[in-house]
Structure 1
Amino acid sequence: MTAVPQSPHCDSPDRESIDRETARLAWARAASGNPELSLQRASVDAGFRSYWRASGAAGSHIVMDSPPALEDVRPWLRMRELLEGGGVRVPQVLVEDVESGFLLMEDLGGPTLAKVIDDANADAHFAAAITQLLKLQAIVPPPGMGEFGEALLQRDAGLFEEWFLRRHLGIALGCGDAEHLQLVQRRLMDNALSQARVLTHRDFMPRNLMPVADGPAVLDFQDCVSGPVAYDAVSLFKDAFLSWPLARVDEWLAQYHARALAAGVPVPPLAQFRRDADWLGIQRHLKILGIFARLHHRDGKSHYIADAPRFIAYLDEVLPRYPELSPLRDLLDSRIRPAMTGVDA
């Protein structure tokens, strides 16, 4: 997250924050018709949005605060409308004020699926999540929607080398290692680009799902793109914050594949789909390592980098299946793993 430039006016950020807090409470009370309403922080979005639980005698709601100068709420609203039109369970908006950047929404409760899923209930929760994912993937991406294409893949590849290898681990790749990494990244990108395209959430994981009766409800959907068909499925089962045994992940991927075929989602035969999912998983894990390192070093959000070993473990599980990606496995053994032993993560 980049720093917000200071305005030339004399108001300090603290003054602006207080003014926004006052406006938020006044708007929530007017929108709900409850002058006694109180607000408590519910969660903070990865961007500039924040969420507040509005409690009163008539029950509770959620207020989204999306300051217009920092994060326009209209793309979120447009994507919510698109998903709802396709039958995806998304938060219901009760009152909206686009100009001020405030929304009054239903309170889905809490916590997220990431906090309640466990070995005993995972099958049922993932079956429900697949139902929502198939609805999402059945929606035709509208004209002008962003593409999970070459530019985005190149950016993702750069995150790993710039932030995780160079900045976090202090690894400067020589010509040979750099060429080997570029070869693997090129193969991963070609795999992603060759897959059938569907509407793609890009962070379809338990942390962004709310376990409600007619759900789970899907959150954090504003960055949907037209992307490779296997991406969201592997994101769901190989989470950034929660790991499962590889054999169980393979079973869930097979279940998704069977249901996707039946639903008319353009998945290839199972063996090809499994390879596509594995390779997209590797591409995603490398990207997230770069993002978590950037959050640590640039943004001061250091708790994410503690999950770096999870992604190395994901790579260790899958890379032996694919000799074509052996240069990455060699780089892990020769450079990355030794460097991680000397770095706090």
Structure 2
Amino acid sequence: MTDSIENLRAAERLAWARAALGHPSVELERASTDAGFRSYWRTVGHTPSRIVMDSPTDKEDVRPWLRMRDVLEAAGVRVPVVLAQDVDKGFLLLEDLGVNTYLQDIDAHNADAFFDAAIMQLIKLQKVDAPADLPRYDDEMLGRELHLFDTWFCGTHLGLSLSCEEMEQLDAAYRFLINNALAQNAVLVHRDFMPRNLMQADNGPAVLDFQDAVVGPIAYDVLSLFKDAFLSWPPERVDAWLQRYHAMADAEGLPVPALDAFVRDAELIGVQRHLKVIGIFARLHHRDSKPKYLADVPRFFDYLEGVLPKYPELSALAAFVHARVKPAMHALENAPQAPAA
């Protein structure tokens, strides 16, 4: 049944692309997928090549993506150009920005220049006058994200059963993180502003995957940029880039606090994000059959180990990770593998 549905969707996607381009012999090849339900397809046999975004309407409405794209473009943020659209079918025809994102192109030698360009785009994004009905990164959302860690990673993935005392300790750490996030000045937040969602382009980099934007803590996106899900940098370089962002944001009139307070805010919102992403990666594996993301979970524990000891309010969280989570991870990694069916 699944194969039949996918084949029907593929035929519909190809027919739509041919009609949108006015080119009856064009073909499509897979360009990329993301952690959601969208997929991207590059045209073959047509110059210049284009990208078809396929967003199945029963799984992921394309209209939030289009709406936020228009908001960002109006504010001068570089976003993909839309050449044709059919929101009822969930198809968009986009400019082709190439094969590589920042994730494939950035390295130790070009990182300063790449991140300077990314910061300039981020500042434009943060200066956007967000729509009044845009969701806020409020108490409920922050808490729901944090509980992905204990629910999906600790519970579902590691099989841990947490005691009432352990949950109380986690809840106290969560409350500390939430209070810090809510105390930060609020701006438009992309929520995944990282190298994988940036592509080199004229007047760029181009910003991708912005449909889940909210209004929230000013330190969130810049921390996401430098403590990425798929790429790690030496702490001293991260510190320098945070200072660079702070200076540029302050010069542009964004409401950043003094540098020391900003670094603290970035570190603490980073802990919230790291716990959330660890939970999301476990959910992608167990619920959505996308196991590859789990390989990057240790990176987030490395990030946590660099921050948790600095804050007494997070000592119980640090102890929980050390005493319960790490041993369970080690046991899972060393467990005998079931034979293939």
Match of 1:64 in 2: 53
The one-character-per-residue Cα deviations of 1:156-177 (angstroms, maximum 9, x if unpaired) are 1211111111222222222332
C-alpha distance in 2, partners of 1:19/1:161?
Answer: 39
Match status 1:142 vs 2:131: yes
Shift of the 26–266 alpha-carbon distance from structure 1 to 2, 3 Å rule, reads: same
C-alpha distance in 2, partners of 1:299/1:192?
Answer: 29
The one-character-per-residue Cα deviations of 1:21-49 (angstroms, maximum 9, x if unpaired) are 22211221121122221110111233222
Identity %: 58
Match status 1:285 vs 2:282: no
Q: Which runs of 4+ in 1 moved over 6 A?
A: none
Match status 1:305 vs 2:298: no
The one-character-per-residue Cα deviations of 1:212-237 (angstroms, maximum 9, x if unpaired) are 23211100000000011000000000
Question: How high is the TM-score relative to the length of structure 2?
Answer: 0.94
Bigger mean CA offset, 21-30 vs 137-146: 21-30
Match of 1:183 in 2: 172
Match of 1:8 in 2: none
Q: Which residue identity does 1:200 align to in structure 2?
A: V
Bigger mean CA offset, 48-57 vs 250-259: 48-57
Shift of the 333–71 alpha-carbon distance from structure 1 to 2, 3 Å rule, reads: closer
Match status 1:162 vs 2:168: no
C-alpha distance in 2, partners of 1:177/1:28?
Answer: 53
Match status 1:296 vs 2:285: yes
The one-character-per-residue Cα deviations of 1:155-214 (angstroms, maximum 9, x if unpaired) are 112111111112222222223322221111100000011111100000000011112232
2:206 aligned to 217, 224, 228, which one? 217
C-alpha distance in 2, partners of 1:211/1:61?
Answer: 16
2:317 aligned to 328, 341, 345, which one? 328
Asked if the contact 2:31/2:99 (under 8 Å) is kept, the reply is: no
C-alpha distance in 1, partners of 2:59/2:288?
Answer: 17
The one-character-per-residue Cα deviations of 1:48-90 (angstroms, maximum 9, x if unpaired) are 2211101224220001122223322111111100000011110
Match of 2:339 in 1: none
Match of 1:52 in 2: 41
Q: How does 1:1-345 map to 2 (within 5 A)?
A: 12-344=1-333
The one-character-per-residue Cα deviations of 1:232-261 (angstroms, maximum 9, x if unpaired) are 000000001111111111110110011000
Gaps of 5+ in 1: 1-11
C-alpha distance in 2, partners of 1:293/1:57?
Answer: 40
The one-character-per-residue Cα deviations of 1:287-319 (angstroms, maximum 9, x if unpaired) are 111111112222221111121211111011112
The aligned length equals 334
Structure 1 vs Structure 2 CA RMSD = 1.4
